[in-house]
Amino acid sequence: MAEKVAVIGAGIMGAAITTRFLERGHHVHAFDVDAEKVAALVAKGAHAAKTAAEAASKSDFVILSLNHADIVRKVVFDEGGVAEAASADKLLIDMSSIDPAATAEMAALLKEKFNMAWVDCPLSGGTPGAINGTLTIMAGGTPQDFERARAVMKDLSANYTLMGGSGAGQTTKLVNQLFCALAFQAVAEAVKLAEAGGVDPAKIPAALAGGRADGRIMQEFMAKFAARDFTATGSLGNMLKDLDSIQAFALKTRTPLPVTSAVTEIHRLLIVMGLGAKDSAEAMRLLDGK
């Protein structure tokens, strides 16, 4: 069934989400402060909106794909924001990766003052997952709103799971990012260790397949890291943003994360080296001393 969907945020992920919705026959109104990004989506069949409120007014599902909680707050509650078009028959689905506590606070405000429900649906799987409809989506909200969101989330995901109340999806995304950040660093160090021992690191994934060390990040990225292939599949800056969120949450909940703390500081070093916009494979430069 074709749905009326607003996508707010036309960056890499927002564009991929919009493209998938258009391919599945949904009617999409797109908004971003960068008009060129919206124009690229209009060329694929989307309709341009001048404000987030306009996009929301013409849609039943409002998808957010933004970088920070502060941006989400502005897009929803500032002048021209989603709240201006809020109603009980619309559903906000935030696919950004932001702070769980901020999510719960904003969701409560949108419901109490504007009678519009909010489901946090951060994702894992990147742009390929969005384009192919194979994302892993971890959700937070009421069971009823979770099921309402399924009408459009089913076209993006292969794994769509309700983790608890508002903010639970964001907490689960922090867990996901902890695993990813540590795994990327482990891959980089494993490459160096294999090379030091005269073993071709590109052969490691096949050799360890099915064993306890096996995993998607090793299988997908070890050969890439070994080849010093720095083609962008994500950015170190975004990973540090998530690691900082993990650290802030850990501090608030008094959760010890000694290894995560070390990996966070390694990412901070990479940012200082000017690699914030670069791929995670750039971690090899630090280990290579370059």
- Each residue's pLDDT, cut to its tens digit, for the chain (290 residues) gives 899 999 999 999 999 999 999 999 999 999 999 999 999 999 999 999 999 999 999 999 999 999 889 999 999 999 999 999 999 999 999 999 999 999 999 999 999 999 999 999 999 988 899 999 999 999 999 999 999 999 999 999 999 999 999 999 999 999 999 999 999 999 999 999 999 999 999 999 999 999 999 999 999 999 999 999 998 888 899 899 999 999 999 999 999 999 999 999 999 999 999 999 999 999 999 999 87
- Asked whether residue 122 falls in the same domain as residue 81, the answer is yes
Residue 226 sits at φ, ψ, to 5 deg, of: -60, -35
- Asked whether residue 86 falls in the same domain as residue 131, the answer is yes
Instruction: Supply the pLDDT for residue 234.
Output: 80
- Asked whether residue 123 falls in the same domain as residue 149, the answer is yes
Q: Which helix (H) or strand (E) holds 81?
A: none
- Asked whether residue 188 falls in the same domain as residue 133, the answer is no
| pTM summary value | 0.90
Identify whether the C-beta of residue 163 lies closer than 8 Å to the C-beta of residue 140: yes
Burial class (CB in 10 A: 0-12, 13-18, 19+), 25: exposed
- Asked whether residue 10 falls in the same domain as residue 145, the answer is yes
- Asked whether residue 139 falls in the same domain as residue 19, the answer is yes
Assess whether 173 carries a catalytic annotation.
Answer: yes
Nearest to 219 by CA among 198, 203, 235, 200: 203
- Asked whether residue 186 falls in the same domain as residue 126, the answer is no
- Asked whether residue 147 falls in the same domain as residue 10, the answer is yes
Identify whether the C-beta of residue 123 lies closer than 8 Å to the C-beta of residue 132: no
Pairing relationship of beta strands 123-124 and 117-120 according to DSSP bridges: unpaired
Which one of the listed residues 173, 224, 241, 278 is annotated catalytic? 173
- Asked whether residue 84 falls in the same domain as residue 186, the answer is no
> What b/e sequence results for 167-190 when a residue is b if at least 16 CB atoms lie within 10 Å of its CB, and e otherwise?
bbbbbbbbebbbebbbbbbbbbeb
- Asked whether residue 150 falls in the same domain as residue 202, the answer is no
53 vs 263: CA distance, rounded Å: 40
Question: Domain containing 115 — which CATH number?
Answer: 3.40.50.720
Nearest to 226 by CA among 197, 251, 189, 267: 189
Q: How far apart are the first and last CA of the chain?
A: 53
Residue the block writes with tokens 């901070």: 268
CA 289 to chain centre: 30
Segments forming the whole domain that contains residue 18: 4-164
Instruction: Supply the pLDDT for residue 263.
Output: 97
